[in-house]
Amino acid sequence: MKNINLKPQLEYFKHIVNSFPKSFLLQFLPMKTIDRGLLFAIAGLTIFGLVMMSSMSIASSYEISQRNDFYFWRHFWHILAGIPIFWIALRFPLEKLRQLSVPIFLVGVILLILTFVIGTDFGTTAKLWLRIGGFSFQPVEMMKLAVIIFLAAIFSSGKLTPDSIEGGFLPFAVALSIPALLLIVQSDFGSLLVLTLTAAGMYFVAGAKVKHFFVGGAALAFCATIVTLTVPYIGRRVNVFLNPDLDPLNTGFQIKQAMIAIGSGGWFGRGFQNSIQKFNYLPEVQSDTIFAAISEELGFFRILFLIAVYGFIAWRGYEVALRTKNEFAKYLAVGITTWIVGQAFVNIAVNLALIPNTGITLPFISYGGSSMLMTLAGCGILLQISSLLPEKNQRRWYR
């Protein structure tokens, strides 16, 4: 039988394999200039969150669907849906984004208003979701990114004088007060805290005076006091924060169980999939308190690495903001970095009983489709900014 010469075919196949990353991947990601460290940190946290979801959500999944993988697959599909959104944000022109800043902000405000009319509560204290067909989402997650884009546009316009009351503080306060008032009425104080921290960080970078922060801080403290005294469940949360043993079986139950989970993890943890608190002892283990359950399984030393990754994202994100020459891009980078990292540390602080319970997710890790989609969109914008830095402003390990 005649021998068949496969060498040409093998050589052609080898050529295709070798050229695949250059011809295909570079078509979608500007890999030559993108901040690879930041990209790997984001991807690593997302994959880590999916792995931990497979362990943390088994009891709550079974309670809903008689299957132990309900939340895992929902989380997986949220990530999958977020990939094209991430890619669009990575490639969407920043100048076009700046031009659309006002419409994006107005859409966010309208969607928040709609939650009062046709919103769904899903068992929470407020109607924070909009349901369209079989899909539901939280407008506040879009609002966080919309405020960042809007503030970045007005701070980079050159029409404001951030160090003055009339030309800086008042426009900033008005822009922030619109979504803030809606969130106060909805009693979504966790999102309000994250939004305020993010906006304040952007305003500080824009050149605000310290005395303006004192004025704003005093106003917020006054409003927080009024809310604490007039909104019963917020008052209970603050009282339980000040005295953890006050109501351990009701308002203080979640934080008590979180502290038990973190403490029982010890230095090295119980081991993957060996958490006890996830079996209906720890409320909202797949979302708000997932950090506590992860700490129980991984222990103190391993959880420090998770916290360090968020610290790394903060370092790289602010470094990108520092190195870019585009003013709009600088404020975007500051806002997105502060939003993601600030929300992460607020969530961690709640689980450690360092601040009152706020009910927000841990970025990349907690269950929540709206949060995942908007976080990936923000990361796409941030990575696009890193890819547009001038060559001389890029670190060697970018390339």
Q: Give the strand order in the sheet containing 135-137.
A: 119-120, 129-132, 135-137
CA–CA separation, 140 vs 128, rounded Å? Answer: 8
72 and 128 housed in the same domain: no
Query: How many domains is the chain partitioned into structurally?
Result: 2
197: domain range? 100-230
Above pLDDT 90, what percent of the chain?
40
Between residues 395 and 279, which one has the greater pLDDT?
279
Whether 336 is in a domain gets the answer yes
Long-range CB pairs of 221-225 (<8 Å, 24+ gap) are 223/184
Q: Is residue 314 a part of any domain in this protein? A: yes
Helix (H, G, I), strand (E, B) or coil at 132: strand
Helix 290-323 vs helix 327-351: crossing angle, to nearest 10: 160
Residue 273 lies in a domain: yes
Residue 242 predicted with pLDDT over 80: no
pLDDT at 97 over 90: yes
Do the bridges between strand 135-137 and strand 119-120 make them parallel or antiparallel, or are there none, so unpaired?
unpaired
CB atoms within 10 A of CB 7: 8
Whether residues 391 and 258 share a domain: the answer is yes
Residues 104 and 41 in one domain: no
Do 252 and 386 sit in the same domain of this protein? yes
Q: How far apart are CA 352 and CA 262, in angstroms?
A: 8
In whole angstroms, give the CA distance from residue 119 to residue 24: 42
What are the structure tokens assigned to 23, written together? 């011809």
- What's the rounded mean pLDDT across residues 352-362? 84
Residues 70 and 117 in one domain: no
Please say which residue of 170, 201, 230 terminates a domain: 230
> For position 385, what pLDDT does the model report?
95
Domain check: are 131 and 213 in the same one?
yes
162 and 105 together in one domain: yes
Give the pLDDT confidence of 82-91 residue by residue, as tens digits: 999 999 999 9
Quick one: DSSP state of residue 311? H
54 Cβ partners below 8 Å, 6+ apart?
69, 72
